[in-house]
Structure 1
Amino acid sequence: MDADSPPRECPFCAIVAGRAPAREVLRTSDVLAFLPDVPAVLGHTLVVPKAHLPNIWAVGQREAHALADATRRVATAVATAVNAEDMNIIQSNGAAAGQSVFHLHIHVVPRKPGDRMPDLWPDDAKWQVAQLDSVAENIRSTVDHHG
């Protein structure tokens, strides 16, 4: 594909526009929530901004608030619908983080003991105190500059 040809349509933008089917569970002026075609577990739901935003760094404050509120609402509804007491809220940015559709999306994943979801974090990470202190300082010194 050359630089002047249009990109292939984003599958989530097609759902937002009504050009692709989806099992919608919530639609607001800013956000759409729907079940993925192949959910990890029953009740797994995606929350997406209606605007095409590729990742977390493209999200403004208004969109962030709308996404957070919709995610909270959907998580409550999913937990009730599938009788789940536990929940993962997962949002990945970039291929190395596992993002496969480059339209920001939040996974709301109800959890039950022994379900088919894998553990998400390694239990064997060993970091030196100096490394942890250094990265905490780096984050502290930049967090207010990137409002």
Structure 2
Amino acid sequence: MAEPSFDPMALPPDNSCPFCNIAQTYPSFPPEQPPAPDSPELDPSKLAPASFVVLSTPMLMAFLDIMPLSHGHLLLCPRSHKPKLSDVSPQEAAELGSYLRILSKALSQTTGVYDWNVVQNNGAAAAQVVNHVHYHLIPRPEIRASGKFRESFTMFGRGQREDLDDDEAIELAAKLRANIAAVLEQESRKGKL
């Protein structure tokens, strides 16, 4: 991915924005070689509530949703504070799009769920809760087969949500980072003999 360039439209970090706080707290790392799961770089308790980072480039971040709609629910956002999708730079838009595909593959491999939603809300009337542009990647397991009839998969960020379990999240985030690296490795070998 390209290194970030100066963006004259970038807003300063918003200290009241939880996503800006995550971006300021966790340094970037090469997605092809993520830090070890017990690395102090990835310590989820650096912030409250805990943050489980799965991808951290100089331009964007992905982390587990603290109130997931389903197991593996991820958020992907630019590091810089941009309230809506129309505010991101062309470079941010390109990297977000590229990583949506990569995260989708890694998320399916990690959860074993091969149906998912990608949702992006713009503004309060569109159910955007955090005023920082972000995409939701939400695995959609077949609930009739699982017997979990109480699960809610209502679209656009509305539905029954439960707090993320920290111990499960540590393990899940580590698996996601490993699968992101594996997807990138597989793709780097495509077309090579």
Q: TM-score range by the shorter chain?
A: 0.7 to 0.9
Q: Which has the higher contact order (CA 8 A, sep 6+)?
A: 2
Q: Is the 8 A contact 1:55 1:102 kept in 2?
A: yes
Cα separation, partners in 2 of 1:76 and 1:10, compared to 1, 3 Å? same
State the TM-score, normalized to the length of structure 2.
0.56
Of 128, 152, 160, which aligns to 1:116? 152
Gapped runs of 5+ residues in structure 2? 1-13, 26-45, 144-150, 157-193
Q: Which residue of 1 aligns with 2:18?
A: 11
Of 95, 101, 115, which aligns to 1:72? 101
The alignment covers a number of residue pairs equal to 114
Higher strand share: 1
Q: Is the 8 A contact 1:44 1:110 kept in 2?
A: yes
Partner Cα distance (1:55, 1:119) in 2: 19
Matched, 1:85 2:92: no
Identity of aligned residues (%): 34
Q: Following superposition, which runs of at least 4 residues in structure 1 exceed 3 angstroms of deviation?
A: none
1:51-62 alignment runs, 5 A limit:
51-62=80-91
Of 23, 27, 31, which aligns to 2:56? 27
Of 53, 56, 66, which aligns to 1:37? 66
Partner Cα distance (2:80, 2:15) in 1: 16
RMSD: 1.6
CA shift for structure 1 position 105: 0.5
Q: Is the 8 A contact 2:116 2:139 kept in 1?
A: yes
Deviates more, 1:8-17 or 1:24-33: 8-17
CA shift for structure 1 position 118: 2.2
Of 133, 143, 146, which aligns to 1:104? 133
Q: Is the 8 A contact 2:78 2:133 kept in 1?
A: yes
Deviations, residues 114-141 of structure 1 (Å, cap 9, x unaligned): 2520266xxxxxxxxxxxxxxxxxxxxx
Gapped runs of 5+ residues in structure 1? 1-6, 121-147
Deviations, residues 64-85 of structure 1 (Å, cap 9, x unaligned): 0011111111111111100011
Q: Is the 8 A contact 1:31 1:70 kept in 2?
A: no
Deviations, residues 93-132 of structure 1 (Å, cap 9, x unaligned): 0111100100000000111122520266xxxxxxxxxxxx
